[in-house]
Structure 1
Amino acid sequence: MLSDRVVVVKGDIVELDVDAIVNAANNSLLGGGGVDGAIHTAAGPELLEECRSLKGCPTGEAKITSGYRLPAKYVIHTVGPIWRGGTSGEDEMLARCYRNSLKLAVRNGVSSIAFPSISTGAYGFPVNRAAGIAVDEILDFLEKNSSIEKVLLVCFNERAFESYSSALEEWTTEGKRD
């Protein structure tokens, strides 16, 4: 079953032994707070050096680096949208983060990938809305692509865990949301 390839977990993304983890980065790719800071700290200074060579990343796009000191082989950096009330294309920009990260993962032979809750921290995207977009994009992608065997949706707190779990359950019982 398609939804068996997607698992919602509570935990710390930097500790996961998957092929790639996704970094909810800022446009500079040079580190920041939240998930971004934790990934840069755990990966070591080599990650920052490689990120400098990438010259940033536009919102909705994705770039890949080595994982360095992380258990993951790769870090896929994507820049989510800042929430501006929902009328500035935020949903589509967030959807593109997932789509572009997954495409990049496939191009690099990734079979297991872990995503954080992109844009729901300092960028203020409502977590329930973000969870629905994430689940829709991931499951739509997996329907067309079998090379990714496992996707983890990694939640740092209970609220995110409940939101992503509900979105996944809704998708599996009712199909894609409208």
Structure 2
Amino acid sequence: MKGIKLTSGDILTIGAGALVCPAHKHLIRGRGLSEQVFERGGEALEAACALQSECPVGEARLTRAYGLPVTYLIHTVTPQWTSGDQWGARALAQLGQCYTSALDLALASGIRTLLFPALGAGRNHFPHSLAAHRALEVLVPRADEFEQLTVCLHTRGALADWRQVQQRFFTPSL
């Protein structure tokens, strides 16, 4: 798939123009990947985040990346998955907006290589198959706008789920 790379491993060891990081609406230390990013970024990242306005679900904010192998961090607040109840469609739309906001902010900032985790699939409990489908719905049509879009999954099992979704729904048939 042109411009989109799916991989697994430690996302905090991969270089790119920007890492898209799940965030708290006040851009303070969260849990999971957010916590790890703040541990590496330290006081400089905390100070940069304190200068930003509140970030509602689906929007994104940009800071420099301190102590990481990327130049920038794009912080986005992901929705909480509630097991596909009546708010499931809204959560999926908001998750898609997280990807759209990150892509738009990257382009506006001149960032051509982006690194994504499986937004929403960690602490916010989206099943990987749903998270992958929503992410790829946004990323695939826009891949040509970037040099590289990389999605780094935390486990090989998650990578297998994403690849299955990619092959089934986003690989052209002959």
Do both share a fold (TM > 0.5)? Answer: yes
Residue number in structure 1 paired with 2:34: 36
Please tell me whether the aligned partners of residues 135 and 164 of structure 1 are also in contact (alpha carbons under 8 angstroms): no
Residue of structure 1 aligned with 2:19, choices 10, 21, 39: 21
Q: CA–CA distance in 2 between the matches of 1:44 and 1:71?
A: 14
Q: What amino acid maps onto 1:133 in structure 2?
A: R
Shift of the alpha carbon at 1:12? 1.6
Give the Å deviation of 1:114. 0.4
Q: What's the offset of the Cα at 1:58? A: 0.4
User: Offset of 1:56 from its aligned partner?
Assistant: 2.5
Residue matched to 1:101? 102
State the partner residue of 2:92. 91
Structure 2: which amino acid aligns with 1:60? G
Write the letter of the residue equivalent to 1:24: P
- The Cα offsets for residues 1-44 of structure 1, whole Å up to 9 and x where unpaired, read as xx221011111222111000000112221011111111111222
Count of residue pairs the alignment pairs up: 169
Q: Given the alignment of the two structures, is residue 8 of structure 1 paired with residue 6 of structure 2, yes or no?
A: yes
Q: CA deviation at 1:98?
A: 0.3
Q: Which runs of 5+ in 2 are unaligned?
A: none
Structure 1 stretches of at least 4 aligned residues deviating more than 6 Å after TM superposition: none
Aligned residue identity for 1:118: L
Q: Which amino acid aligns with 2:27?
A: L
- TM superposition shift of 1:70: 1.1
Report the alpha carbon displacement of residue 75 of structure 1 after superposing the two structures with TM.
0.2
Aligned-pair CA distance for 1:120: 1.1
Taking the aligned partners of 2:49 and 2:113, their CA distance within structure 1 comes to 22
> RMSD of the alignment, in Å?
1.3
Distance (whole Å) between structure 2 residues aligned to residue 156 and residue 110 of structure 1: 24
Counterpart AA for 2:62: I
CA contact (8 A) 1:14 1:42 kept: no
* TM-score for the superposition, normalised by structure 1: 0.90
Q: Report the CA distance between 1:167 and its aligned residue.
A: 2.0
Report percent identity of matched pairs: 28
- In the other structure, the counterpart of 1:131 is 132
Question: What is the TM-score with the length of structure 2 in the denominator?
Answer: 0.92
Decide whether the 8 Å contact of 1:99 with 1:141 is kept in 2. no
**Could you report, residue by residue, the CA deviation over 1:89-145 in whole angstroms, capped at 9, with x for unpaired residues?**
011000000001000000111111000011111211111101111111101222xxx
**Paired residue for 1:65?**
63
